[in-house]
Structure 1
Amino acid sequence: MRLFRRLASLAASTLFFAGNIDAHSQSRNPLNYLSLIGNPRIHTPSHRVHAFSSFDLTFDLHQSSQRIKLSLEPNHDILGEDSHVVYLDKDGNVRHSEPISRHEYKVFQGKAWLLGDDGHWENVGWSRIMIKRDGVHPLFEGAFSVIGDHHHIQLPSSYMHTKHALDPVLEDSDDEYMACFRDSDVGRQPQTELRRRGNDRSCIADKLPFNSDPNHPVFQIPVLKRDEGFWGSMPVTSLLGKRQIDGSIPGGGNSAGTNLRSTIGSVEGCPSTRRVALVGVATDCTYTASFNSSQAVRDNVVLQFNTASELYQSTFNITLGLRNLTVSDAECPGTPPAAAPWNIGCPSQTTIEERLNLFSVWRGQRGDSNAYWTLLSGPNCKTGAEVGLAWLGQLCNSGVTSGQDSTGANQSVTGANVVVRTDQEWQVIAHESGHTFGAVHDCDASACTNSQVVNAQQCCPVSSSGCDANGAFIMDPSSNPGVGQFSPCTVGNICSALGRNSVKSDCLSDNRGVQTITGSQCGNGIVEDGEDCDCGGTEGCVGNNCCDATTCKFKSGAVCDDSNEGCCRSCQFAAAGTVCRSSTGSCDPEETCSGHDGNCPADKTAQDGTGCGNGLECASGQCTSRDQQCKTLMAAYSSNNDTYACNSRTCAVSCASPEFGPNVCYSMQQNFLDGTPCSGGGRCDNGVCSGGSVGGEITSWIDDNKALVIGICSAIGGLILLGLLGREFGKNAHLFLFFNKGEEVFAEYYYYTRSDSDASSRGRDIIQYYIPYESKILPDPEEPGNLVVPKSPRYVLYLQGCN
């Protein structure tokens, strides 16, 4: 509710941080060099492979000066069972749907080897490959690394659709062939047509009003203090005119909820056994049109998410699994269809921010349980140089929260992101998915020049003592060549967010009976229907004594798999009472094993609002309070850790401390935990205060501003009727009366209803709320004896003498 938005500026002055931290992904600089793939060979007797083959693939680079070998095995991490691909016509209607069979996809993972001068092969990195054509003249696409330098293999048809305008041009040919470029081949000098100057950077997710509201104190600079003449220099009319953050619109997003320096490198909070985040993907008409067939669209989606999934699996023990794929027709509609309003041609007047909002509404109406959805758009759909955008910390949020941001524009928030097709597509997917998991950007040189940006948890420092991550990791604000890992700070950021329930994780599957879009297959690390276990193929099953890597059945004598089940010890069910999930506090009791099942029981936490001692309450399984969450966030910036919340109303974290100076508030780019008390007796829910009442809001406001109400009345010597300008209620008028008597503060709330037949009728259906109640007759200045009813009706302000 916004009842006291105008008056909030009276309660405290606020310290506002300067400088934007962008959060979007940007296209790369031009290539300095491009190599062709020479002498490719599949090392099988027939040079043929199927979807479940394991084999070596060799080829030459740099005019045969370098010989590469990829040792490959099936990789089906994102492919599963009993799901369908849906095809839409240009009007957004379902044209048809069909199942996808796993055997259609020749998707592989493995290691990369380099032939040395001594004739020996040296292991130099990883590989992720999709075979497009086998036989004597094979074609393939994918990525591999050589000592940290990522190599990207593309067919000319793919390369020409995503190339930079200044990249080398490939010659036309009657038959397809393959080109390869390295991250080290990307030019380092910023290009003016690609990279905006100044403080603007490639990823703009922090510019979303939800992620970082423009009116949020973090983006303002003035400091107003009472001891600097704040009260004496401003008339009462000016006080009501000062703009303040709108507490009803979320302004921070969900992130770690803790000091980022304190969790660098920590995996506490991430799952100890494999989990699966099931993802939905939709392609708009521009993305579909950038391929020569719908099958090519499907192949590329699988390829890109297959590569991105490896990063999440190896870092967080979470696999990205494709559950749904919606493919739009390649012909773009003349006007956006009501059934798929995000399906818009490019270039157009629709920005990437607007695409995300439109897609979010559609995703929120689906009612599925996916971890999130990704919209893929064509290469021409960039806004400037921006090629990706996501809502912060919206994992497992399948509903949609809609409202107006501080600029008046509509925004709809849900678990969704947008990615524009580039030749670094999997990295952009990994980056934007990182935001969905709650990751902020790594700090760069620009952010590090402003300590307030770092202190506000708006970027992830490289270490406990350093700041600039030098663009070396996936969550850098700009797309940089050679990045393929999350920074230690991002690891701690995401794991602590999951562990504290700042970011929801209840939609993550326990990796048993998982259904994804390509059928049950052994070796993909996902335990699907018909499998006892799946430790991830020959490489992933090294040292596993419970699971047979080739059959995905338990080995002789085993009844469970230690690597996948929390209540499994040495391939047997753990004894009853064995703790499988430790308690994190009084609001999150431990879970114990039953003795007859390998799975740990579901994590259960105390109901929000349950008292847990010392004046604290449970919220999202944490024993906490608004003040306590400020202490956790601001511990590094207050030597006495005497930080407290600035108010009791909003769900965006703002904190104060005597050490920060009188009446100074630091506002963070984070929300309070879901379940935290907020305005009017409500509870925070994804950054929005829900379930509050008018009477409760009066209580909250007076609690926050008791000295202010008494002070104004005493200083001016008037009976105060405070209302809020600009709020319409149609036929109804709401008035508030605040006054003081001695040391007590009193309030009355009047609710008026105008009849349809007599717009001037007054005093009907009066309901009074009070804190405490003392009967008062409020005279109309023009008509004594009648109650005041605003003409519009709107909220009004009157000043009269105090009693």
Structure 2
Amino acid sequence: MGVAADCTYTKFYRSTDGARMQIINDWNSVSSVYSSSFNVGIGLINITIMDSGCPSTVSTSSAWNQACSTSYSISQRLSDFSQWRGSIGDDGAGLWHLMTNCATGQEVGVAWLSQVCTTRAISSQGEYTSGTGVSSVIADEWKVVAHEIGHGFEPGTRNITTLQQCGNGIVETGEDCDPGGTDNDCCDSTTCKFKSGAVCDDVNDLCCDSCQFRPANYTCRAASTECDVAEVCSGTSGACPQDVYKEDLTSCGNGLQCASGQCTSRDQQCLSRGTTYNIRKACGATNGCQVTCQDPSSSFACITFPGSFVDGTSCGIGGVCSSGKCSSENFGNNVKNWFDTHKEIVIPVAIVLGLLVLVCLYRCCCYSRSRRYKNIESSYIVAQQPYHSAPPPRYPPPLGGPPNQYHTPPPGWVDPTAYNGPPLPPYSQNDPRIRDINPSNTVNADNGPTVPPHQQMPTPTSPVPVYTQNNPTQNNRPHNEGVL
């Protein structure tokens, strides 16, 4: 195969060497897939790379080498590239492929069907057809290349021979390096082996400088977009680590999120797909992954486009689109990334919820304390003995009088003075001396009921104690000690 890179592709990878290395890596991946799946190897015999500065005036001989423009689609670029390929003639390449950074909406690759080994360009209705294809820059762009190359094949009758070839620019099994047929200081182009003292090849290895490994942490591939991650050398190998991107749903500014290495959103993808229809945003429903956009003529209608949102686009609750379906395998990380992206919503909501929780806790504490105080106050209320209840029973003294204090009382003797008292006066509801105690239930400073003077009961008069002279040694001591 032959591969060409236009000015936009070279500019994206910052240099002709960077573009060359990316192309070689892509074709290594494609060849591996085709070899394991179809037993067909993909080799390169020509790599043509344009300068990173796009021409201000488009050349008629290479019209495909121009800057991106909304008026110049990827299909037109394929037609111009096919015309250019036909001008080369039979150079031994079964297919030619153009690498660009100018996609048209969601169309990132295009190729003519069943044109393998077609070397001339055929014109029909203003378009040129040949054994060509075009792929644009995306995450894992080698997959687009593999897909577009597949369009060029057909059953055919030609025998295809696959051989390892030194000089095709691809480092294959048994080779240390492959400069693509051009000799250099590090690699012998005839044997594809390192020259004496060389441990890597500057042409094949981005972490190689003057045939030696670059130091650790040297940036061998800078971040190209907001969703790209810069790769650095290990210091022990000439190979630059595989190109990786930030996690899906990572914020990349302006309300956009990373998805398969692109800084995009559902609205952004609808905007790029529906420019001619004046479409500006996606439909409100976010559960599906098919491209469904808001109809600009009606807020209640949606327009469905063929295809799906880019893998990694948000969908559902914490999910991402994957092969046209909404997947929630990385729910935790997706939710975290969503929170990071929507901090202007999450922070105010969290503050409000926190305040509500504090208010609820405060009210619960106050209610519990109020109940405790009420229980304490109610514990001071003592039930009053009604005056109309029967008087306590009286017990007669035992026969023979009380026992002498110097003698042990007989068994079963009970001092009647501990139980008997003066007889209660008769009770009448009209007795003016009896009033309800504290009818207003007021409390004084001593936390006791306050009784008005006219309602206070008179202090009962104690009976006169009875004294006897039976014991001369205790003349002034009451004999019946329990009587008051």
Same-fold status (TM-score > 0.5): no
Alignment TM class, shorter chain as reference? 0.3 to 0.5
- Normalised to the residue count of structure 2, the TM-score between the two structures is 0.40
- Is the radius of gyration larger for structure 1 or structure 2? 2
Larger relative contact order (CA 8 Å, sep ≥ 6)? 1
Structure holding more strand per residue: 1
Structure holding more helix per residue: 2
